[in-house]
Amino acid sequence: MSAESVVDLSGIVQKFGRVTALDGVALTVRKQTIHALVGENGAGKTTLMKVLYGALKPTEGKVIVEGQERHFTKPQDALAAGIGMVSQHYSIIGELTCLENLMLGAEPGWTIPFANARTKATELATQMGFSFDWDALAEGIGPAQAQKLEILKLLWRGARIMILDEPTAMLSPTDADLLFAKLHELADSGTTIIVVTHRLPEVMDHCDDVTVLRGGKLIASKPVSETNPEELTEMIVGHSVDIPAPTPATPGAVILGVSGLTVKGERGDDAVKNVSFELRGGELTGLAGVDGNGQRELFQAILGLLPFSGSVALDGVDLTKKSTKDRLVAGIRLIAEDRHHEAVIEDWSIELNGVLGLHHTEPIRRGMLVSANARKEIGEAVTNRFPTKFDRVGQRFGDLSGGNQQKVVTARAFQQNPRLILAFQPTRGIDIHVSALVFQALKEQARAGSAVLLVSFDIDEILEHCDRVLVINHGEINEPPEHLRGDRQAIGRLMVGAE
C-alpha cells in the first residue's frame, strides 16, 4: 500500500441556489486503496462524487487527479482522465446484449468487430473471475451480475479510479462479500476504489480509509484501523440516536391469510410460487430477500393489482375475487416501492395525495363526493405524522424533496384504521432519525392490533426492527427455524437459496 495520493479534492463548495450542499470539503484518496465515504442521506456524499466524476461543476474548490488540476465539465472528461462511477441506478439497457452494453459509448471503431470484442470482453471478465453470456439480452441479468457488468464497463474504458455508490444495496450478503473480494484484487492490481456506503460493517471489514461527511461538511478522514463502529456512528449522526427498548410482541388473531398464491411475473414465469403464510395482529414481520425475487408481485397480488391463483383473506373474509378498491376499504395499505409511479400523482397537492387511495373510506367519501373537511384533516395528519418540511398542504406534491415525499407516502398508510400495512422499503431516502420514527410507528401500529409486512433488502434493518422474519427467494417463502431467527448468516443463505 502506498501513501501516494491519486485524488485530492480541497475546499470544495457546491451551492444549489441558496442551499449549500457542500461546504469546504476536502478528500484525499491514496493510490490502490479502498476508500469509504460515509454519511447520512443528504450529507453530501453523492454530490461530492458528482464533482469528482464531472457531473457537477463545483462552485469553488480544486480537483487534483494524479497530480494534475482538472476542470471536468462532463462525466466523459472524467472518464478520459481515468475516473468512472457505478451509480446506484445501473445504466444498463435491457434491450441490448451484455456485450453491446459493455461497449456502448466506447466502441472499438466505426464498424464493430463482434468476434474480436467478444474475445476481449471474455478476457477482461476472466481476469476479474466473472463470467457472462455476452450475447444474451441484459434484461435477464440479476442485480449482482449487473453490478459486475458495470464494473467491467469501467475497466473496458480504462478507468483507474472507480467510484461505487452503495454497491451492495441490491446484493445478498454472499454476493456482497464476493464483490469486496474482487475489489481487493482490483486495488492490488493498480486501481483505486472509492465506495459510498452507509453500512459500517463493510467499512470496518473491507476498506482501508474512511471519510465521514455530515450536513455537507467534512467531519473526519482517517485509516479504518484507527477507528471503530461506535466512533463512526457518532461522527455520522452527530449525537446518539435513542431507540426505545423493543417491547416483545404478543401475536394476536390471524389478519392476513394467504394460501397457494401463485403470481405470474412480467416475463411470464411464476414470480411468486404457490406461497402460503399467515400474518397475525401485533407483529411486525420482515420479508427478507434480494431485490426482484417476487416481493413486488406478492404485494401487488395481495392488493389485487395483479391477477393470481390461490386465495387471499383479511380478517377471515375471503378477498380473492374482490377489487383493489374493496381491499383498500377493507384496510389493506401499501407503501409502494416506486413512489413516483405507484403511490402519488405529483402534480396534485399534498392534501389530495393524502387521501388518494383512501377516498372510498368513510368519512372521506360522502356519497359521490370527497369530504373537504376530512380531506383537510388527512392532509394535515399525513404531514404531521413524521417531521415533514413543506409550505402548505395545498402545495404541489412533486415540489417536496424526495425524503419528504416518502414521509407523506409512508404516513398515508397509517390513516383510516389500517388492518394490514404492506411496506416496501418505507424508509428509502429518509434520514436515520426519521427512519427510526417510521420503524417505531410501524411497530406501534402492529402493537395496536394491525399486521405489518415489511420488505427490505437489508438484513440488518429486518433483524433490528422485526418481530418475525420470512425469507423470499425465487418466489418461494421460507421461515427460518426457531433457533436461527436472529442468525444473519442463516437468513443470508436462505435469501440466495443456499439452504
Span near other proteins by CB under 8 A; candidates 89-97, 178-186, 275-283, 315-323 = 89-97
Check residue 341 for interaction with other proteins (CB under 8 A): no
Tell me how far apart the alpha carbons of residues 42 and 24 are, in angstroms, rounded to a whole number.
16
Q: In angstroms, give the least distance from the CB of 478 to other proteins.
A: 35
Interacting stretch for other proteins, rule CB under 8 A, among 109-117, 259-267, 364-372, 436-444? 109-117
The answer to the question of residue 136 lying near other proteins (CB under 8 A) is no
Environment class of residue 278 by beta-carbon count within 10 Å: exposed (0-12), middle (13-18) or buried (19+)?
middle
Nearer to other proteins, 54 or 281 (CB): 54
Among 38, 47, 100, 212, which residue interacts with other proteins (rule: CB under 8 A)? Answer: 100
95 touching other proteins, by CB under 8 A: yes
Task: Decide: is 112 part of the binding site for other proteins (CB under 8 A).
Answer: yes
Tell me the closest approach of the beta carbon of residue 138 to other proteins, in angstroms.
11
Work out whether 338 is an interface residue with other proteins (CB under 8 A).
no
Could you tell me which residues are beta bridge partners of residue 107?
none
Minimum CB separation of residue 150 from other proteins in Å reads: 11
Q: How far apart are CA 65 and CA 163, in angstroms?
A: 14
CA torsion sign for 478, 482, 486, 487 is negative
User: Does the footprint of other proteins cover residue 92 (CB under 8 A)?
Assistant: yes
Considering only CA atoms, which of 454, 35, 424, 436 is closest in space to residue 284?
Answer: 454
Question: Under the criterion CB under 8 A, does residue 86 sit at the interface with other proteins?
Answer: no
Are 491 and 469 in contact by the 8 Å Cβ rule? The answer is: yes
Q: Least Å distance between CB 96 and other proteins?
A: 6
**Interacting span for other proteins (CB under 8 A) from 93-101, 124-132, 359-367, 414-422:** 93-101
Residue 110 touches other proteins, criterion: CB under 8 A? yes
Amino acid at 112: I
Torsion of CA 234, 249, 454, 325, to 10 degrees: -140
Nearest alpha carbon to residue 424 among 436, 440, 437, 413 = 413
User: Which residues touch 5 (CB under 8 Å, ≥6 apart)?
Assistant: 28, 29, 30, 31
* CB contact at 8 A, 333 and 413: yes
Query: Is 398 a binder of other proteins (CB under 8 A)?
Result: no
Q: Which is nearer to other proteins, 137 or 313 (CB)?
A: 137
3-class SS letters over 246-270:
CCCCCCCCEEEEEEEEEEECCCCCE
Looking at residue 106, the DSSP 8-state letter turns out to be S
Contact stretch for other proteins (CB under 8 A) within 104-112, 272-280, 304-312, 320-328: 104-112
Count of residues that bind other proteins according to CB under 8 A = 21
Which window, 37-45, 105-113, 280-288, 451-459, contacts other proteins (CB under 8 A)?
Answer: 105-113
Q: Which is nearer to other proteins, 1 or 112 (CB)?
A: 112
CB nearer other proteins, residue 36 or residue 141? 141
Q: Using an 8 Å Cβ cutoff, are 291 and 143 in contact?
A: yes
- Contacting other proteins (CB under 8 A), which of 96, 124, 305, 370? 96
Q: What is the largest CA-CA distance in the chain?
A: 74
Report the Cα 1 to chain-centroid distance in Å: 32
Least CB distance to other proteins at residue 462 (A): 31
Pick one of 2, 3, 17, 109: the residue that binds other proteins (CB under 8 A): 109
Please, what is the minimum distance in Å from the beta carbon of residue 90 to other proteins? 8
Q: Of the two residues 105 and 201, which places its CB atom closer to other proteins in the complex?
A: 105
Residue 125 engages other proteins in binding (rule: CB under 8 A)? no
Q: What is the DSSP string of 444-487?
A: HHHHTT-EEEEEES-HHHHHHH-SEEEEEETTEEE---GGGTT-
Residue 107 interacts with other proteins (CB under 8 A): yes or no: yes
Closer residue to other proteins, CB minimum distance, 62 or 264: 264
Partnered with residue 280 across adjacent β-strands are: 254
SS3 377: helix
Asked if 24 is part of the footprint of other proteins (rule: CB under 8 A), the reply reads no
| Residue 114 near other proteins by CB under 8 A | yes
CA separation for the pair 362, 371 (Å, rounded): 9
Nearest distance from C-beta of residue 243 to other proteins, angstroms: 38
Are 56 and 71 spatial neighbours (Cβ–Cβ below 8 Å)?
no
244: cis peptide before it, omega within 30°? no
Site for other proteins in 223-252 (CB under 8 A): none
* CA dihedral sign of residues 371, 372, 377, 379: positive
Candidate residues 106, 136, 253, 498; the one interacting with other proteins per rule CB under 8 A: 106
Looking at the Cβ atoms of 242 and 338, the one nearer to other proteins is 338
Euclidean distance between CA atoms 218 and 178, whole angstroms: 30
Helices 229-237 and 432-447, packing angle to 10 deg: 100
Q: Give yes or no for residue 111 binding other proteins (CB under 8 A).
A: yes
Least distance between other proteins and beta carbon 164 (Å) = 15
Report if residue 103 touches other proteins, rule: CB under 8 A. Answer: yes
Within 10 angstroms of residue 372's Cβ, the number of other Cβ atoms is: 11
Instruction: Please say which residue, 103 or 186, places its beta carbon nearer to other proteins.
Output: 103
Handedness of CA 382, 451, 445, 483 (dihedral sign): negative
Site string for other proteins, 43-82 (x = CB under 8 A): --------------------------------xx--x---
Chain residues in the site for other proteins (CB under 8 A): 75-76, 79, 87, 91-96, 100, 103-107, 109-112, 114
